[in-house]
A and B are shown apart, each in its own frame.
Chain A
């Protein structure tokens, strides 16, 4: 996770629902009314990096500025769907960086069960990805729908698996080098 890692920057920009506990003067711009105050109890989606920073204050003895909620991509509905069938969920439409987002979220929340569900999801989908990557037809076969639902981490995985399978085929002379 380097400073210049574009995926980690994009993960930082994903939205997290936050509830303001205090009235903040002049921050209404976040809500879309510049110049106004933000009232206590307002719910706003803030980027991960901002929400994380604002919620940290609780550790310093002062009352915390915002409380965080689970992002919609990790809501109970999604987790239940993943429990039922990991392969049929379109992770990309939930969040383009689904796994990075959940990784960061799990640092903030204690969710033992969610970890297990996500690990199982990742495993099951990784098997599927491996199958599609080794299929010489690649992404053009019947798996288009599944492959379009891959998040960024999974896309990289697919790419790596596909490239190594392709390199093997080129070496063994089954495929032409392009």
Chain B
């Protein structure tokens, strides 16, 4: 009770996490390599491009020591393409546009292929599968791979907003981008809200809301409300759930349980 902040993390904290994303910069001055806690930063030699965490890139940008190359998705065309998917495409009427492809995931075109993730290895030889923020989703790409539709990364809203704030002169048509980001946000929040209808299924076991491709900031904003709704539904439905469980236990005891009535019970 004494802790003044609500449960979950606040928008500035989410933005702080988003600052870990690697971006590409074009340095204007030389800088020797830095040994930071989050990993080494390569030496900056103009006009060679370099990748570094967003927070450092923003710092250098504010000091006019570097220019930031916008991520491949932060251009008007890919954004309006994504906005089209979000609003026009029948398949994505109730879900978010697909997130960027993870390494090893079959690309959008041949998605019937079985996913075959390629593991990476730590220095100790342990296998791991990288995920955001350790994937370079926000670096500028020389050429977009063929057949790869643009997609919004996990920290899209944070990175987009921060770059618009600090480095709008490096972006192509920043006003257009700002407008598109705002529209995307509104469309996706509306979808998030429409998911409430499906939440009771989620609270009662089975069913649920598809959140594939959701962004960090959207989760952060929806957290309090969604957990509140699910909690309320759970409490109201408690007696029904109790009856259901008793009935199921009875059926199990009578040997009538054939495992088809309730699949999530099978997992235990």
Contact = CB atoms under 8 A, between A and B. Distances in A.
A73 interface: no
A165 B237 contact: no
A94 interface: no
Chain B contact residues, majority secondary structure: helix
B178 to A, nearest CB: 11
B116 interface: no
Contacts of A115: 236-237, 239-240
B199 A130 contact: no
Q: Is the interface of A mostly helix, strand, loop or mixed?
A: helix
Contact of A122 (B11, B161, B189, B236): B236
Nearest to A118: B236
B196 A160 contact: no
Q: Max chain A CB contacts within 10 Å: which of B11, B12, B199, B232?
A: B232
B236 A168 contact: no
Contacts of A126: 196, 225, 229, 232
Contact of A134 (B15, B165, B189): B189
A77 B153 CA distance: 51
A49 interface: no
A157 B239 contact: no
Interface in A115-138: 115, 118-119, 122-123, 126-127, 130-131, 133-134
B232 A122 contact: yes
A103 B231 CA distance: 12
B118 interface: no
A172 B243 CA distance: 47
B221 interface: yes
Nearest to A156: B228
B233 interface: yes
A169 to B, nearest CB: 9
Contact of B217 (A99, A123, A168, A170): A168
A131 B197 CA distance: 14
Contacts of A112: 240, 243
A123 B199 contact: yes
Contacts of A110: 239, 243
Interface residues of B, number: 31
B193 interface: yes
Interface residues of A, number: 33
Interface string A92-111: 00000001101100110010
B179 interface: no
Nearest to A161: B225
Interface string A126-170: 110011011000000000000000000100110011011101101
A106 B193 contact: no
B200 A119 contact: yes
Interface string A40-56: 00000000000000000
A107 B239 CA distance: 6
B229 A164 contact: no
A161 B221 CA distance: 8
Contacts of B240: 112, 115
Nearest to B217: A168
A167 B243 CA distance: 41
B238 interface: yes
**Interface core residue of A110, A119, A131 (most chain B CB under 10 Å):** A119
- Among B196, B233, B239, chain A packs the most CB atoms within 10 A around the CB of B239
Nearest to B223: A164
A153 B11 CA distance: 25
Nearest to B7: A160
A-B complex: 6 closest residue pairs judged by Cβ atoms: A171-B11, A160-B224, A161-B225, A106-B239, A157-B228, A115-B240
